[in-house]
Structure 1
Amino acid sequence: MAAEARLTSAMLVGALRRRVGEQGGFATVVAKGDELSGVILIQALEKGRYCGLFERVARVDGGYELMRCGPGGDEAAEAVDQYLGRRRRSDPDLWIVELDIPDAERFAAETIC
């Protein structure tokens, strides 16, 4: 049985940044992870207001989905920064990508899942 080809984390992040930019939003890599298979964490904002964190996780059927993680949308910036710091310390291969665009979760799911 042949292995299924898949896009690298770096390619997915690059595609996401391009799509967000094309739609008038802002996307930046806060922390660069492993080029091939680093976990991708999305920090969603809308007009600079924090909306939540979402992690790209593997599904049992072999696909991917975004799962909400970390502090909720009403948490203080300090709590979010502490969470992201802990995650990076425990997984230095982690990508953290900040998206500032309406409905960032849906937008990211359409691009990287």
Structure 2
Amino acid sequence: MAARLAAGMLVSALIRRAEELGGNGAVLAKGDVTAGALLIQLADRGVPGPLLERRLDPQGAYRWSPTGPEDVEQRGDYIARRRRSDPDLWVLELDVPNGLQLVEAIAG
């Protein structure tokens, strides 16, 4: 199994890199600093993109994959349900071009 950065460090690195690329990032919900799971809402110039979650694949490697409803209007309810069942969950929004590439480069 691959080593993981602490969740708080990962969130900070993602936001910092998004800002370096001319975008921005915001923590919508703070989770456990060490081991919290992470949902990332991607956007590009304010246009919502996919909601991503890092999951363990069958080979033991972490991969980012789309999660939740595709309809942006329904994501708030989905995130609220997830936070009720996992209060350690982080929710992050990154508004940057090529957000998936950024996420995979930092937290792949």
Q: Same fold (TM over 0.5)?
A: yes
Q: Is the 2:48–2:72 Cα contact (8 Å) retained in structure 1?
A: no
Name 1:26's counterpart in structure 2: 24
Q: Which amino acid aligns with 2:35?
A: S
Q: What number of residue pairs does the alignment pair up?
A: 108
RMSD: 1.7
Question: Secondary structure in 2 aligned to 1:57?
Answer: strand
Does residue 67 of the first structure (1) align with residue 62 of the second (2)?
Answer: no
CA-to-partner distance for each residue in 1:19-57, whole Å, 9 max, x for gaps? 001000110100011111110110011111111100011
User: What TM-score do the two structures reach when normalised by structure 1?
Assistant: 0.87
- Residue 76 of structure 1 and its aligned partner are, at CA, apart by 4.0
When residues 5 and 109 of structure 1 are mapped into structure 2, their CA distance, relative to the original with a 3 A threshold, is closer
Segments of structure 1 that go 5 or more residues without pairing to the other structure are: none
User: What TM-score do the two structures reach when normalised by structure 2?
Assistant: 0.91
Q: Which runs of 4+ in 1 moved over 6 A?
A: none
Segments of structure 2 that go 5 or more residues without pairing to the other structure are: none
Q: Is the 1:44–1:99 Cα contact (8 Å) retained in structure 2?
A: yes
When residues 104 and 34 of structure 1 are mapped into structure 2, their CA distance, relative to the original with a 3 A threshold, is same
- Residue 11 of structure 1 and its aligned partner are, at CA, apart by 0.7
Name 1:100's counterpart in structure 2: 95
Superposed, 1:9-88 pairs within 5 Å as 9-72=7-70, 75-77=71-73, 79-88=74-83
Q: Give me the identity figure in percent.
A: 42
